[in-house]
Structure 1
Amino acid sequence: MKAIIIGAGIGGLTAAIALKNKGIEVEVYEQASEFKRLGAGISLWTNALRAFKEIGLEQKIINLGAEINSSKLLTYNGQELSAIPAAQFKEKFGFPSVVIHRGDLQEILVDALGAESIFLNKTFQAYHDNDGITVDFLDGTSARGDLLIAADGIHSKVRRQSFGDIPLKYAGATVFRGICQQDIPEVELGSCFETWGKNGRFGVFPMRNNEIYWYFTFKQPANNILKEEKRKSFVETNVSNWHQPIASIIRKTDMPDILQNDMFEIPALKTWYKNNLVLLGDAAHAMQPNLGQGAVMAIEDAIILADALAKHDDITTALEDYQSRRLARANKVQRLSKHLGPIGQINNPILSSLRNTIFKLIPNSFRMREFNWLFNFEI
């Protein structure tokens, strides 16, 4: 069997490694002309490390990432609402949670797969499912295989050809992501927090080498993407009365290191495959980032897809197995992520006060039980 993967993001590369480890021939096609250390940080919660163990990469990621020991929810003035027991997650579920730069994670995956399996500067044009899969690229070349895996993200061209135009739904907020590359004394490695305030949420995740990954989600209409030179001042203005060290982190972040993207999701799909085409990651279940599980779901997809293909000689049977093990779980995470966002951005002072009181009263034992289904997932 030979699999063709469109997209060399986290999900696509993880799938390629998992397939290669199972003895399945694989080729990855990526439209970018080179791999650059772009993007921001990514939190890989314990279920991600559990999945990476299946392909032997968990220790490399732990070594290069920063382990999360504590994660707190705070109000805009620094009042603690709750503490997520990240250290207890490690003890209970057997794996830590880490923060790592996306570029570093991508480098680990590329090295594990091998450059000979990756073809850059290849823009997908169309595919043909006739006695196998043939994929045509913009440069006039083509590739042939037995299975096509669409790992080309929320705007998947592969999905569009097979499933039609699926309208994206705007989540009602834009997100700014930044990397602060200066030391902030108040920020301790291993200690993360997310602050809830009017119209937005601000998260801080320290990484190694004195880097701090931060994000700011802000409620506003779609398609108001700011120019690079205006993003920093916009964020500073909207969190001007929020607790420290938020202002210091933004001030010490260089303008080119601040990205902005509107938050979109796709409707929950009822099927992820058609003939010898299968969806993976954001192409299948793009979700809001409020649970920090978007990339993690793609990683789980990749491991289970490879397992299903290795267990079944018939591709259709393998894809049915993959879907039966993944679709309901991913859709549940997508649904919970959608509901969590508005809770953190309540404007009404009475409702926000009520929310804060409720969160303070929730015991850690309850949170551990609530996270059990998410983190204790057997691959």
Structure 2
Amino acid sequence: MSASRPLHVLIAGGGLSGLALAHGLLKDGLTCEVFERDADLSRKTGYMLHMNAFGGEALRRCLPADLFELYLDTSRKPPERGESIVLTDQLDELSAQPHLGPPNEGERRHTGVHRKTLRQILLSRLGDSFRPGAAVVSYSETADGVRVQLADGSTAEGDVLVGADGIRSAVRAQRLPEVRVVDAGIRGLGLYGRTILTPELLEQIPTLLLQGVIIAADTKGARVLLGAFQPRQPVAAAAAATAPDVRLDPVEDYLMVSCSVPPGTVIPPAAEWTAETPAMVRDAMLEAIDGWHPALRAIVAGLDLPSIFGIPFGHVEPGAVWAPSRVTVIGDAAHAMLPTLGMGANLALNDARMLLDRLSAVSRGEAELVPAIGAFEEQMRELVYPFIEMTMQHDRQFGGGALASRGAQETTV
């Protein structure tokens, strides 16, 4: 049936794709509620986030104009080389290639953002549409809508349910129970932190390490990944100038760092980390890159210890085609992939854009609801599934393939 009133959309999950979709729905005159399990932004989810035209243009479509400008203002300065670059452990260049994604050129091209800053932008102006500390645990489809059950025992009803609740999605588990999550543990580059770009450190490191996305690798399997974050404008000042109602935490210039540890190093689960764990991880990283170029060792030695955390890798196996309904999934809930090519967040945001276009057409009476959701899902699968396969062949895909001839190591979790 065609909608005779604006659709009311329930969104499980307040990550990047769920929040972007919420902004787009409100912008287009629809209504929504976003149910987010976390009560605040204290959970560590990463630092510098590479952005390409998939994600950046999705933000242009979804956000109000001034919030989109704020996203650009707080993005990293365009590097001289917009590439993924592979170096030896002594900083000799092995290969490079342009970043993946659609054409991304011009003075204000998409570069990279501080993940928390982007989430703070996306959290602004949602008002009562955003419900933190309220996790969706299950749902039931009714004759003319969807009812969700929340962890606190309450319920909510809408026309559509969108599962944007991550790789462990409760919505996907019920909607597509046959889809399998493949756990890969913490492999090589699954430990992250950030090193502040102080004047003293900048004097020690070549400017090449501030370009693009860098992986340095030796022939024994150790690797260091770097991503510099130096914003176009100071983050908090940009908000005051462009969108004064938006509060953004100040962010110092930094290098996002991911580094291997020696084989056999035991990294405890996040819940078992103690005050001593970050220093142990940092020291293990330094052991793994013993003898490497002094600039790389200085970067790792300078890691801010409270910033260090581990990300257990995993991905969703691409599922067979399914029949559409009023319940759909986007982002990691639909296609969690290994983070090795920087595509996951960009494709999740692009999901929000594509679904927004379909739901807005329904709300205008131009399309039927369930067929429109099916058309989105078909479009999403066709675009995204090949990238899942590419991330699992990272060494042949990143930076022109030079990593394929170098070893790999795993960390015991």
TM-score class normalised by the smaller sequence:
0.7 to 0.9
User: 1:309-320 counterparts in 2 under 5 A?
Assistant: 309-312=359-362, 313-320=367-374
Asked if structure 1 preserves the Cα contact closer than 8 Å seen for 2:325 and 2:374, the reply is no
Query: Structure 1 pair 321/20, CA: closer, same or farther in 2 (3 Å)?
Result: same
C-alpha RMSD of matched pairs (Å): 3.0
Paired position in structure 1 for 2:343: 293
Contact 2:52–2:104 at 8 Å: present in 1 too?
Answer: no
Counterpart Cα distance in 2 of 1:263 and 1:80: 28
1:59 to 2:69 alignment: yes
Q: Which of 185, 202, 206 is the aligned partner of 2:228? A: 206
1:326: which partner in 2?
Answer: 380
What CA distance in whole angstroms lies between the structure 2 residues aligned with 1:321 and 1:287? 22
The equivalent residue for 2:192 is: 177
When residues 95 and 50 of structure 1 are mapped into structure 2, their CA distance, relative to the original with a 3 A threshold, is farther
**Equivalent position to 2:48, from 31, 41, 51:** 41
SS in 1 for 2:392: helix
1:243 to partner: Cα distance:
2.6
- Listed as ranges, the gaps of 5+ residues in structure 2 are 1-6, 231-251, 408-413
Aligned counterparts of 2:224 and 2:345: Cα–Cα separation in 1: 20
Question: CA–CA distance in 2 between the matches of 1:273 and 1:201?
Answer: 43
Among candidates 284, 300, 306, match of residue 356 of structure 2: 306
Gaps of 5+ in 1: 354-379
Shift of 1:91: 6.6
Kindly indicate whether residue 146 of structure 2 is the aligned counterpart of residue 124 of structure 1.
Answer: no
Please state whether the residue corresponding to 2:137 is helix, strand or coil: strand
Percentage identity across paired residues of the two chains: 22
Q: Which amino acid aligns with 1:32?
A: D
CA distance in 1, matches of 2:266, 2:12: 27
Q: 2:165 aligns with which of 145, 149, 152?
A: 152
Determine the structure 1 residue equivalent to 2:177.
164
- Please identify, of 39-48 and 217-226, the stretch whose mean Cα deviation from structure 2 is larger: 217-226
Shift, 1:84, TM fit: 3.5
2: CA distance, partners of 1:106 / 1:277: 25
Q: Does 1:269 align with 2:303?
A: no
2:410 equivalent in structure 1 = none
Matches of 2:260 and 2:345 in 1, distance apart?
18
TM-score by length of 1: 0.83
What is the identity, as a one-letter code, of the residue corresponding to 1:336? M
Which has the larger displacement, 206-215 or 258-267?
Answer: 206-215
Contact residue 46 and residue 93 of structure 1 kept, 8 A:
no
Q: Which residue of 2 aligns with 1:195?
A: 216
How much does 1:165 deviate? 5.6
Higher relative contact order (CA 8 A, sep 6+): 2
CA distance in 2, matches of 1:99, 1:324: 29
Letter in 2 for 1:19: L
SS at match of 1:306: helix
Cα distance between partner residues in 2 of 1:162 and 1:223: 36
- Say whether the 8 Å CA contact 2:87–2:93 is kept in structure 1: yes
1:28 alignment partner in structure 2:
34
Classify 1:41/1:293 alpha carbon distance in 2 versus 1 (closer, same or farther; 3 Å): same
Alpha-carbon offset, residue 51 of structure 1: 2.0
Contact between 1:37 and 1:104, CA under 8 Å: does it hold in 2?
no
**Which residue number corresponds to residue 356 of structure 1?**
none
Counterpart among 258, 267, 283 of residue 233 in structure 1 = 283
* Deviation for aligned residue 1:92: 4.6
Higher strand share: 1
- Any conservation in 2 of the 1:67–1:96 contact (CA below 8 Å)? no
**Structure 2 CA distance, aligned partners of 1:220 and 1:93?**
43
**May I ask how many residue pairs the two structures share in their alignment?**
348
The CA distance in 2 between the partners of 1:2 and 1:316, in whole Å, is: 14
